Chain A
Amino acid sequence: MPETPARSFRLGVAGPVGTGKSSLIALLCRELSGELSMGVITNDIYTDEDAQFLRSAGVLDIERIRAVETGACPHTAIRDDVTPNLIAVEDLERDFAPLDIVIVESGGDNLTATFSPALVDAQIFVLDVAGGGDVARKGGPGIARADLLVVNKTDLGPYVDVDVARMIAEAGDAREGGPVLGLSKHDPVSIAALVDWVRQMTTTVAGGGHVPIDPGPMAPHSHLDSHGEPFTHTHPDEHEPGHAN
């Protein structure tokens, strides 16, 4: 709806189920709500538990945390039909104008779910160490091209036989140098790095210095051409089949 209270920085947080999206958002609210005016939207699949979790964390006024229903299609709600999420973002911007940042948590979905640039200005993709050290190397659009890749729960590395430093290095390779951040809620240095990234991105977006990047359905990748030279391309016509319902 063409109402125009000040537009906030819209930050998406995506990633597989249980990797720590809600925890990361709670942490950002705890660290940043003193200096930024914030709102949060959760995309639950069956309950409003994510919204409840964040409200009960006591890190943000509960009125600023809203749940959007996704009709069993969390992927659709952040990608092909972002209408309910955009309406929720606009409502928050109207009710708490001026808002600096609205964080949208995707419903825990598979590795290929990424936010449409029609919904968010930037996105964080969250993996965790417990999901296995190979996940980052295997790649996928969110891993390869989200604005920031978080490898969460680094404290768990020794318990799940994952070499965290190596996992982060392989993630860096999959991202061709794009930022990767190892995070643990028990590691204050990593928390400060995350908060800094969000703070800087908020300033950059507010200043108009950021063009949303679409991680897209498939990251660019390399083949050898007929002369044996590598070339990089994407597959524009290999989009996932529509998933509108």
Chain B
Amino acid sequence: MTSSPQLVLAMLADARLPTGSHAHSAGLEPAVMAGLSDQGRRLDEIPAFARSRLRTVTATEAGTAVVTRHQWLAGGSLSGVEDAWAARTPSAAVRAATRQLGRGYLRLAYGLWPEEMAAAFERGAVPPRPLVLGVIGAVTGLSSRQVAQLVGYDDVQTTASAALKLVPLDPIEAMRWVLQLHPDIDAMADDVERLTEPAEIPASGAPLLDEHAERHAVTTRRLFSA
């Protein structure tokens, strides 16, 4: 069976993909709880938040996925990539959420591409999501650019859909944000698509988002896990 990379990309970017990501908000709920958008009175802060993520934490995640794809196709080991990702993701709460998402994607990927995934990840492994996405990209023929776009698009779309639950918002407005962020997603992909080595992964952190994430991890009232 051969499937086209474009359709694999559409499938992976579909919100209905069963990976457990519906319990995540790409850091939006923690930020909203800390005052972002002032309960929806300054809605434009939300797309600005998504843009900031694309330039910082999401670039790190996309770079990790791109480098994973390259290393896997080149027959290399992934442990250096995982270390590089962890070193660039200082918040334990963010690392835990990203590994939780990684498990969900890996569970699905094991079901769809069992041999390929078993070769890449040991049983019981809990890799962060960008590692799983990078390997999926490698085994399904996605280009490095498509992998980067997938990570960027997913982050923006997750933010927009979570916003619908968190603030008063017209869904068409949320989709307009996503559309208007397409150039930003592409710009991020431009920056990371040619990376091949773990050391090249962007280390562009967002300390305030990390602080929000840490606080969110211990709150007892929340809709989203992270």
A contact set with B: CB distance below 8 Å: 1-3, 45-48, 69-73, 76-77, 80-84, 86-87, 94, 242, 244-245
Q: Is B15 within 8 A of A244, CB to CB?
A: yes
Contacts of A45 in B (CB 8 A): 223
Interface stretch, picked from B19-27, B30-38, B146-154, B194-202, is: B19-27
Q: Does B113 contact A (CB under 8 A)?
A: no
Contacts of A1 in B (CB 8 A): 103, 106-107, 110, 123-124
Q: Is A80 within 8 A of B18, CB to CB?
A: yes
B contact set with A: CB distance below 8 Å: 15-16, 18-20, 22-25, 100, 103-104, 106-108, 110, 114, 118, 123-124, 161, 165, 220-225
Q: Is B16 within 8 A of A73, CB to CB?
A: no
Q: Is A83 within 8 A of B225, CB to CB?
A: no
Q: Is A81 within 8 A of B223, CB to CB?
A: no
A71 and B23 contact, Cβ closer than 8 Å, known pairs A1-B110, A1-B124, A2-B110: yes
Q: Shortest Cβ distance from B221 into chain A, in angstroms?
A: 6
With contacts defined as CB atoms under 8 Å apart, how many contacts are there between chain A and chain B in the complex? 71
Contacts of B108 in A (CB 8 A): 83
Mind listing 14 A-B residue pairs with CB under 8 Å?
A: A1-B107, A1-B123, A46-B223, A69-B224, A72-B223, A81-B19, A83-B18, A83-B19, A83-B20, A83-B104, A87-B104, A87-B107, A94-B124, A244-B22
Q: Shortest Cβ distance from A74 into chain B, in angstroms?
A: 11
Residue from the list A47, A48, A73, A86 in contact with B22, Cβ < 8 A: A73
Q: Is B225 within 8 A of A69, CB to CB?
A: yes
Q: Is A46 within 8 A of B110, CB to CB?
A: no
User: Which 5 residue pairs across A and B have the least CB separation, nearest first?
Assistant: A71-B23, A83-B20, A244-B16, A84-B20, A81-B18
Contacts of B220 in A (CB 8 A): 47-48
Q: Shortest Cβ distance from A172 into chain B, in angstroms?
A: 35
Residue from the list A48, A71, A86 in contact with B223, Cβ < 8 A: A71
Q: Is B223 within 8 A of A2, CB to CB?
A: no
Q: Is A87 within 8 A of B110, CB to CB?
A: no
Q: Shortest Cβ distance from B61 into chain A, in angstroms?
A: 19
Q: Is A71 within 8 A of B224, CB to CB?
A: yes
- Taking A83-B107, A87-B104 as known contacts, 19 extra A-B pairs with beta carbons closer than 8 A to each other, sorted by chain A number, are A1-B106, A1-B110, A1-B123, A2-B123, A47-B221, A71-B224, A73-B22, A73-B23, A80-B16, A80-B18, A81-B16, A81-B19, A81-B22, A82-B18, A84-B20, A84-B104, A87-B20, A242-B16, A244-B16
